[in-house]
Structure 1
Amino acid sequence: MEHNHFFPPHAGVTLAALAAHTGAELADETQGETIIRSVSPVARAKAGDVCYILSRRNRDDLLSCNASAIFCEKALVSLIPQHIPVLVAKSAQTSFALAGALLHPEGLRPVRMTSEASLISAAAHVDPTARLEDGVEVEAMAVIGANAEIGSGTRIGPGAVIGPGVRIGRDCTIAAGATVQVALVGNNVIIHNGARIGQDGFGYAPGPRGMLKIVQVGRVIIQDHVEIGANTTIDRGTMDDTVIGEGTKIDNLVQIGHNVRIGRHCGIVSQVGIAGSTVIGDGVMIGGAAGVNGHIKIGDGVQIAAMSGVLADVPPGEKYGGIPARPLKDYLREVAETLSRYDSRAKDKGASND
């Protein structure tokens, strides 16, 4: 893939400066003036690109690599062709992430869609009682409700809706078409296109003529440095708050029910569904399409495999998988045993047909 006008190459950073910025060590300091302009995967990297490898499985990709530098850990340096400068890093992926942010800052969050000179578009509606600090951007067709408060450096994308009384901190990005209501949002938060924050949760009680709606009067609290993917939905609490902890990253198409409390620095992948009133600890990782039952607790540092069904509490530090989710080693052993029995039956059937 050639560079395109969406993410043009950087004007150029020397390898010496890039090493200093990322905390890596340039294996040959005489190569410090080499210029880096962009990032690339290993197999198709060319002059001016930087890439990274994580394991010996990248050996074949290196055959076609013409990068101007590669990040890798010390144990993998011998794999790198001699013509390619090496940036030795404790974590190649972390250093590469820092390099990418330096070279392509425009790729870190949704960009401004319009080119109006005014920070606040004439085509936006900002209620007279809303309070916006200096430097807030509001693009066309966005709506800012009564008594909303928005901090400096925050951008509200086109068609986004900020509900009455919502408070949004500084240096946030609320992308096109997102809605934020009944919520308090911290600093440096990214909410991607079409996300829905603060609508009422799914709560009903049986009545003589059908289901009766249970009023939802809690809030959504989103702490600093959270990122929420496109078309993700986070329901407000019933009477308590729904809370997303500092530094947590949530993928696209995730559903988080009312009263859920998610800890700090968690990672939640696409199509995960978390039912109401579940409490999730710090540093928890939940794989794609996993379902988490309501009213349970998941301890700090837990890892949940993709497509798992979590029905009960999970102790801190555990790795769980399967439906119902259980310790991952037990689940994998059961899968291996099942496959072994299947193979045996297939062989027996084949023998009987001979």
Structure 2
Amino acid sequence: MKIYCDNAATTALDPEVIDAIIPYFSENFGNPSSSHWAGRQAREDVENARRAVAGLLGATPGEIYFTSGATEANNLALTGAIKAYGISHVITSRIEHKAVLQTLLAHEKEGDIEVSYVRLDERGNVDTYHLENLLRANPRSLISLMHANNEIGNLTDIRAISKLAERYDAIFHSDTTQTIGKIAFDLSGLEIHFIVGSAHKFHGPKGVGFLYIDKKHRIAPQIHGGGQERGQRGGTENVIGIVGLAKALEVACRNLEENQLKIWKLKEYLVSKLAISRIGDICYNGDSKSEENSIPNVVNVSFPCLPAGNIVALLDQAGIAVSGGSACSGLGTSHVIAALPCQREKENVRFSFSKFNTFEEVDQVVATITEIYKSVRAPRGRELELAII
């Protein structure tokens, strides 16, 4: 039996999304820039999708721009804001996604900006007092802090940060890739200038995402061509992806509370099963075990080092998909874990759930991990027996 617990990396297509996009492979194939009937239908479908996404997020259609995904959207927002508003100072954290960190590093190397990194507490949460001190010393900065961390699941209070941004005339960008479709948004009541989303994180197709740009802000296009996306991003629109994104977000928001509860219970169940598993010295990275301070679907667990091999690879051999990194055997660990003030010489494994996971799968995951640790602690003959099992 194959088990997929890496939903923070990507998710399976929802059946409703599949049904919605199938006609666009053969029937509704027009180019939205064409003036004939096929093009007009495609254009209408793209704009209907834009209105749907905007409505679900509390935005206006003119604030939504479709992209190839969150990486492109982050690049467009950061580079665009730096250029459009003459930004010379950016505040971020060392646990942001590399789509943010590497974009800022490139600008810093070019001499465009200076980057300050806000302090994190021992669990990886933003020190808002330090953030305010940085803003006080550097007004009119660009703040880039993610809503939820993709590895440890920590939630950032973007409402509090938006208020600081307003107070110090800063521009606020947040990578919301891990929270779109999982947490309710009402952008109409939030002073935030740029957010991003990627459809494949909420059961939509890969290769499509969006950038929200608050109507009070504008950036210059960085992809030039046919003037698509109201001149903001050239290139023929990915109609199949855009329709799929809008449908996936509709489905996600329709069942938001129900899915949140189920997925949180899966995480809670995993934590409880690990607590009685006798695996050994288990701890949790960041605030991923917290119901209040983390997203429901992510938990990051530190396991004792194995004498040989690593848990992620051994689980893969058993048909269980998770992600992580190990400092135990020279494989290194992620930049997120490395940036946490409190580090341990352990193997760090991220489990991330979706509405398609089950409690029976959690049982199997914990049983498999337990068998792995039993095998390495058993006498040589017994180890072989367990391996065969």
Higher fraction of helix: 2
Higher fraction of strand: 1
Which structure has the larger Rg?
Answer: 1
TM-score normalized with structure 2 length: 0.23
The structure showing larger relative contact order (alpha-carbon pairs under 8 Å, at least 6 residues apart) is 2
